[in-house]
Chain A
Amino acid sequence: MQGFSMEEFDILKFTTVGSVDDGKSTLIGRLLYDSKGIFEDQLAAVAKTSNKKGFESDEGIDFALLTDGLAAEREQGITIDVAYRYFNTPKRKFIIADTPGHEQYTRNMVTGASTAHLTIILIDARKGILDQSRRHALISTLLGIPNFVIAVNKMDLVDYSEEVFNNIVADFKELMSKLELGAANFSFVPISALKGDNVVNKGANTPWYNGPTILEILEGVDVQSSLTEKKFRMPVQYVIRTDNAETQDYRGFAGQISSGTVKVGDELISLPSGMKSKVKAITSYGGDQEQAIAKQSVSLVLEDEIDTSRGDMLSKLDEAAELVKEFDANICWMSEDKFEPRKKYLLKHTSNKIKAMGTDINYRLDINNYEKQDATELGLNDIANVKFKLLKPIAADSYQENRNTGGFILIDELTNNTVAAGMIS
């Protein structure tokens, strides 16, 4: 790595959400097309199909065909599952998760949004904020996505009216003010994904808009997450053991650092056991390193032979994670089977899998006005706050504090399906 010159980039993961036909796939197609992120052979294939359909963008291309990768999607003209696309500009690399708008496929939207640094919420200028826009804005907030871009699309169909745009902005701000959660940055942009206004290039049609284009926002957002400044957390994923003449009874605790930094000599505590030791070495393939930081996958050798294995959490002694056996969590329910209180599920949190049950539903959130409702069971796509009880304690943080150590999934033991996304309150 030393002495190697290469353009170094950071990566921005973002997602496009919103209701059906708000133009998510078209926006992505436009971004890729105008930033030259589409290969000619792929474009030619799409142009051929677009011609058949008599499509009417200025370029004569149905951009949505670029991301709808399944035959069933192209047949029905809808997005069923997340499509991931990759492009870069001279400023940074982008990973896009294009998510489906249909309520039926909300779980696939959650999948795409869970790792995003930024979410683009598309709103059709003619229709204003619809149920799915509200649902997606709520889920994006619960998932703790730090940056929101509200793109009011199809401005060409409302004569690029500033008033229409301002009304939608006001409605959206009022909606978000009802949520206790969320400290995201918001930007509002009037666009036409079909015609290209304010996506990559500024349009001449919105002289009243002085803000940045979508791409300018994407390029400018700070992704240097504060992860390295947070407390050190590393779930033990795997214990690497080998004993030969060279390695001499090697025992390394392997994992991806969730947050913070660690260096040789740091005093660590392993939870739940509470055993303590010091970092003796940070092993890597290219030679040992002195320190390691959030997001790196490393293996730590400790000075003492402590009993630590997969599922345990390493923290620094003076800022240990909290051991919890009962907690409240926001959940997105993603299964056709109902959520029932007291039913046992398998909860996966970091590298830990443990039996869990929801004892009470504290409240369910009404998608329309974000008000709390009483509920005794939860169905597909419901969003609720639930009290959980675990068989054994886990070392966790609140999701707001740390996305990596505060999130979990629930697995139905009978069907093996992932039925909920959970965020510890």
Chain B
Amino acid sequence: MSTVKEELKLNHLRQLEAESIHIMREVAAEFKNPVMLYSVGKDSSVMLHLARKAFHPAPLPFPLMHIDTGYKFPEMYEFRDQMVKDLGAKLLISRDEDAIANDMNPFKYGTDKCCALLKTGALLSGIEKHGFDAAFGGARREEEKSRAKERVYSIRDEFGQWDPKNQRPELWNLYNSEINEGESIRVFPLSNWTEVDIWEYIKYEDIPIVPIYYAQEREVVNRSGVIIPIDRSSPHTSPREGEETFMLKCRFRSLGCMPCTGAVPSEVTDIDGIIEEAKLARKSERENRVIDLGSDSSMEDKKKEGYF
């Protein structure tokens, strides 16, 4: 029989959950016009679930915003629309229509420029257009070395830029929400979660996720060692000239834009299998994100410009 003290223990997921909920409530209380960035991926799914818990039984006190590059997987759009419908949440979609109309793509313009316009540009204009003063993002410190440096509350200037050498001290759970007109804040309630925590929590709480996290046969192409999925319905997700495609049972560890998201060969079709793979993984979950592979400081450079 367990002792009272043992019953009163909070396991690691419950501790992380409580911390994230605390952060979300702080933001809802202290900012005039917050928004939750919803990217449809696993971290967003957990973040959204935590937000529902934080304000239960009331509805979410802020809208969701999806930064849509037009290059997301069809399964992601479908999942997003279903999710929003089920929850009755308010969803805003921000796209850089000019860049999309001008056929912005990573092949001709490079990943840095493509991200800068389709993601960062659409994000900053979305924030500005709606006058948001705080934006939740699902980034985790474990993901990448410059993210490991970021505060829970990350101040952005009028241009949406991050100054990593001049971050405010952040003590205990006392967050400083004071900002000037035009500045905004990025808030990372999942800062302390690891990839394994996210998957375990998804299982624990039975949180719906986009089905392509599970393995399925699909047409792919090998581009410099990264296995890129093919979707022949649009030119930039079709095979490039001279490329040979093949069928592979594979899944995705993290989801981004189709042309820049690598798959991993896998047979895993259930959540236990995903948790097992994440625990055994010897490579980080972003290993197949083409946009990180540019240089040693790719992510930091993007973040300084306003990327999440």
Q: What's the Cα separation between A86 and B196 when bound, in Å?
A: 11
Contacts of A228 in B (CB 8 A): 5, 8
**Among the interface residues B54, B176, B194, which one has the most CB atoms of the partner chain A within 10 A?**
B176
Number of contacting residues on A, CB 8 A?
77
Closest to A407 in B: B172
Stretch of B94-102, B162-170, B240-248 at the chain-chain interface: B162-170
Q: In the complex where A45-B296, A237-B22, A293-B8 touch, is A80 in contact with B283 (Cβ < 8 A)?
A: no
Task: Check A111 for interface membership: any CB of B closer than 8 A.
Answer: yes
Q: Are A10 and B9 in touch, CB under 8 angstroms?
A: yes
Q: What's the Cα separation between A9 and B281 when bound, in Å?
A: 20
Contacts of B89 in A (CB 8 A): none
Q: What's the Cα separation between A371 and B145 when bound, in Å?
A: 40
- Out of A1, A66, A71, A334, which one reaches B296, CB within 8 Å? A71
Task: Check A297 for interface membership: any CB of B closer than 8 A.
Answer: yes
Cβ < 8 Å to A, chain B residues 150-185: 151, 164-165, 167-174, 176, 178-180
Task: Check A247 for interface membership: any CB of B closer than 8 A.
Answer: yes
Q: Are B145 and A69 in touch, CB under 8 angstroms?
A: yes
Question: Smallest distance from the beta carbon of A253 to chain B beta carbons, Å?
Answer: 11
Q: Are A11 and B15 in touch, CB under 8 angstroms?
A: yes
Q: In the complex where A407-B171, A416-B179 touch, is A237 in contact with B25 (Cβ < 8 A)?
A: yes
Q: Are B173 and A256 in touch, CB under 8 angstroms?
A: yes
Question: Smallest distance from the beta carbon of B276 to chain A beta carbons, Å?
Answer: 12
Task: Check A308 for interface membership: any CB of B closer than 8 A.
Answer: no
Question: Smallest distance from the beta carbon of A101 to chain B beta carbons, Å?
Answer: 16
Question: Smallest distance from the beta carbon of A304 to chain B beta carbons, Å?
Answer: 20
Task: Check A310 for interface membership: any CB of B closer than 8 A.
Answer: yes
Question: Smallest distance from the beta carbon of A116 to chain B beta carbons, Å?
Answer: 11
Closest to B168 in A: A418
Task: Check A409 for interface membership: any CB of B closer than 8 A.
Answer: yes
Q: Are B171 and A71 in touch, CB under 8 angstroms?
A: no
Stretch of A36-44, A267-275, A317-325 at the chain-chain interface: A36-44
Q: Are A421 and B149 in touch, CB under 8 angstroms?
A: no
Q: What's the Cα separation between A246 and B25 when bound, in Å?
A: 23
Q: Are A409 and B11 in touch, CB under 8 angstroms?
A: no
Q: What's the Cα separation between A114 and B173 when bound, in Å?
A: 9
Q: What's the Cα separation between A74 and B164 when bound, in Å?
A: 13
Q: Are B176 and A408 in touch, CB under 8 angstroms?
A: no
Q: Are A85 and B296 in touch, CB under 8 angstroms?
A: no
Task: Check B53 for interface membership: any CB of A closer than 8 A.
Answer: yes
- Out of A250, A293, A348, A421, which one reaches B10, CB within 8 Å? A293
Q: What's the Cα separation between A238 and B24 when bound, in Å?
A: 10
Number of contacting residues on B, CB 8 A?
64
Q: Are A69 and B300 in touch, CB under 8 angstroms?
A: yes
Q: Are A70 and B146 in touch, CB under 8 angstroms?
A: yes
Stretch of B55-63, B103-111, B121-129, B130-138 at the chain-chain interface: B55-63
Secondary structure type dominating chain A contacts? mixed
Question: Smallest distance from the beta carbon of A91 to chain B beta carbons, Å?
Answer: 12
Q: What's the Cα separation between A6 and B54 when bound, in Å?
A: 24
Q: In the complex where A81-B164, A240-B55 touch, is A9 in contact with B11 (Cβ < 8 A)?
A: yes
Q: Are B148 and A85 in touch, CB under 8 angstroms?
A: yes
Contacts of B11 in A (CB 8 A): 8-10
Contacts of A81 in B (CB 8 A): 149, 164-165, 167
Interface 0/1 of A385-425, CB less than 8 Å to B: 00000000000000000011001110101001110010000
Cβ < 8 Å to B, chain A residues 121-157: none
Cβ < 8 Å to B, chain A residues 332-390: 334, 346, 348-351
Q: Are A296 and B170 in touch, CB under 8 angstroms?
A: no
Closest to B12 in A: A9
Task: Check A107 for interface membership: any CB of B closer than 8 A.
Answer: yes
Question: Smallest distance from the beta carbon of A79 to chain B beta carbons, Å?
Answer: 10
Q: Are B284 and A71 in touch, CB under 8 angstroms?
A: no
Q: Are A242 and B283 in touch, CB under 8 angstroms?
A: no
Contacts of B22 in A (CB 8 A): 237, 255-256, 297
Interface 0/1 of B21-62, CB less than 8 Å to A: 110011011000000000000000000000011111111000
Contacts of B53 in A (CB 8 A): 284-285
Q: Are B178 and A83 in touch, CB under 8 angstroms?
A: no
Contacts of A418 in B (CB 8 A): 168-171, 176
Q: What's the Cα separation between A254 and B170 when bound, in Å?
A: 22
Closest to B179 in A: A416
Contacts of B5 in A (CB 8 A): 224, 228
**Given A70-B149, A108-B169, A293-B10, 18 additional A-B pairs, CB 8 A:** A6-B203, A8-B9, A39-B283, A39-B287, A42-B284, A74-B296, A81-B149, A108-B167, A224-B9, A228-B8, A240-B57, A242-B58, A246-B57, A247-B58, A295-B10, A404-B172, A404-B173, A417-B176
Please provide the 3 A-B residue pairs with the shortest distance between their CB atoms, ordered closest to farther: A69-B145, A242-B58, A297-B21
16 sample A-B contacts, Cβ–Cβ < 8 Å, listed by A number: A40-B282, A69-B145, A69-B147, A81-B164, A242-B57, A250-B57, A250-B58, A297-B17, A334-B169, A351-B26, A407-B172, A408-B174, A409-B169, A409-B174, A411-B176, A417-B176
